[in-house]
Chain A
């Protein structure tokens, strides 16, 4: 069933849009105040939402890379600091757990005429968010360097490592590989990718007890260590944006970052020679596994519970206007893999589409996942710097998580 749905989604057959309904745009009353992550694609969506809201609307938006830290307290306040939040399958869970989002069924009924059914995110049958784009981390490489050295496009991490070693040996680049290894959320995310790529499970089935201290976890850590050895020595301070800068400076020949990075990497700014040489490829598999070592994400809109019905309706209208705008999607085909009705994917969609086709797992929307994710980075650093063994690091991650999960009432 899941495979079928993915196939349906990614062949971009319009899956029965809602009939009837009101046009969402042209909001005249109510306040719209959105909290969103900071990257180019979301800026495009927010511009469209502002346009849709119209010149009479009271529209404001806050872009912040710290959105995940801000969202809890901001939406818990009554009235909430923001009327709407751009969420992902990762960041929606804490909001759902605390009941800070409002069900959107009636609003979808009224204004969602142009939405695809697959855009609706439902929990227990109720719509809580409307997704507009899919995202995943995948491989990027410099074609001319690969051709010159006779390297084939890698499909596994073992090949990625071999390719990077070859480039390094050729003397072209000292640190040919790059990934978002910044200590904190990013570094932990690399482990999530690699562990899922090895076919690992984070928790014992049906419980909140961790189960990462196993051979798959050790293998995942070892692959990450190899990759960091081929990266800039400052890798612990580099997030996605820093990696993109390295790429645009021509210091990197192969990297694993978000598909949405295309919006800024393939634009008209920066070194056009590097841009013309940039190729996107499927995310690699690892350790002989069949599923890609990456996670699938959706980005979508959700509306705060603690806000007036008027504001909620206004916010929903403006954002759904953007989330169902075929025009926006087709004007920016490379900015994201849009889930929007009538979108024809551009060249840059290839990585994310491949991730989905290769059976990558969606990032787990489980309430205690954030705690485990938060516990990983510190111990991974100890391991990556050679201060402790992989087994010890995994044992410490589990212990740190258990203490936190007990405090949060999960164990």
Chain B
């Protein structure tokens, strides 16, 4: 394709990307460098049904004036990134100095909100993604050999978890694993422990979330693998059959190498998606024991009566950075392959 044609072909989507992805990211970044203007406090008398009291309140006029002068707030540089609720350089350094073995140090660091969230996010990401790829591949192989008459139905059934909105899917499961729900009660009977609850401990909640993640994401891997399977060349397959290769040998030596780029693609998308895990935490009411980076952003914007734009912006930037770091190895690999193919 000539470069000029490519340019005009790409231009509309490029423009949309700049407008709807590039600019918001830039604006978040800009916001993360600022903090609110100083709140000017005054004491006023407030009266309610329980009596009158002199209380500290924000001086509306003075604060509004300060805000009008500086609508973006005070410039704060990268301080928000460095504070305790984000990268916490000061606290990490303090932890390093005050502890003399690595496990104590890690314990201290993982007590900080950002690192706590990062740990869950990475655990989720690296547990769900491999399982999704393996399971998706197995399901695709199995569906591929089904009789034509039932294939359509099975495919539809298989991709259902992906069709269900994440929030609804997680809510349904949340109710099922309740100690009075069908799954929760069954588990209690199996383990003969009336106090066993999947929602009560950190470990069990994490496992529940990860299983949910696998359940929700597998259909995506399945669909892509299934499409890939349709392109497996038939000649070498037939040759292999004639040579007496078993089914597992055929899968290992012909199908797998053929689908390798597809697997890379799925890994890329899954890593990216799972790094931004959010809905299941809300659906499972798991915020007490499992926080992700996306959940931190949500909390800064929605869980407070006052919105922390700077803080949310900083976490967003760190999330983008995290996705970037996570994808680098895969991208480098793809780039190398691309070059050798040329």
Interface residues of A (CB under 8 A from B): 1-3, 5-6, 9, 66, 68-69, 72-73, 89-91, 93-94, 96-99, 118-125, 131, 134, 174, 182-185, 187, 206, 208, 232-237, 249, 296, 298, 339, 356, 362, 364-368, 370-371, 373-374, 377-378, 381-382, 385, 388, 392, 396, 399-400, 402-404, 406-410
| Across-interface contacts of B179 in A (CB, < 8 A) | 232-234
> Considering only CB atoms, which chain A residue lies closest to B300 in the complex?
A404
B104 at the interface (CB under 8 A from A): no
Known: A366-B56, A400-B84. A407 touches B310 (CB 8 A): yes
Within the assembled complex, what's the spacing in Å between the Cα atoms of A400 and B48? 31
A234 proximity list for chain B (CB < 8 A):
178-179, 197, 199-200
The number of chain B residues with a CB under 8 A from chain A is 62
For residue B294, give the distance in angstroms from its CB to the closest CB of chain A. Answer: 16
Which positions in B face A, CB cutoff 8 Å? 35-39, 41, 44-53, 55-58, 60-61, 63-64, 73-74, 76, 80, 83-85, 91, 111, 113, 174, 178-180, 194-195, 197, 199-202, 284-289, 291, 299, 302-308, 310-311
The answer to whether A408 and B36 touch across the interface, beta carbons within 8 angstroms, is: yes
Q: Which residues from A are CB-within-8-Å of B63? A: 97, 99
Q: Which of B35, B51, B56, B299 contacts A409 (CB 8 A)?
A: B35
Chain B, residue nearest A296 (CB):
B50
Chain B residues, Cβ within 8 Å of A131: 48-49
A178 vs chain B, min Cβ distance (A): 13
Chain B residues with CB under 8 A of A402? 84
Q: Are B305 and A94 in contact (CB under 8 A)?
A: yes
What residues of A have a CB within 8 angstroms of the CB of B304 in the complex? 370-371, 374, 404
Q: Separation in Å of the A299 CB from the closest CB of chain B? A: 10
Are A409 and B37 in contact, CB atoms less than 8 angstroms apart? yes
Contact for A5 among B52, B91, B202, CB less than 8 A: B52
A377-B64 in contact (CB<8A):
no
The answer to whether B55 and A94 touch across the interface, beta carbons within 8 angstroms, is no
Give the chain A neighbours of B44 by CB distance below 8 A: 123-124
A382 to B46, CA, bound (A): 37
Q: Known interface pairs A403-B84, A404-B85, A408-B39. Does A6 touch B50 (Cβ–Cβ under 8 Å)?
A: yes
On chain B, the residues within 8 Å of A73 by CB distance are 307
Closest 3 CB pairs of A and B: A183-B288, A370-B305, A2-B51
Provide the bound-state CA to CA distance between A232 and B179, in Å.
9
With A234-B200, A236-B288 in contact, is A122–B46 under 8 Å at CB?
yes
Q: A240–B303 Cα gap in the complex (Å)?
A: 17
By a CB distance below 8 angstroms, the chain A residues around B46 are 121-124, 365
Q: Which of A72, A184, A382, A399 contacts B303 (CB 8 A)?
A: A184
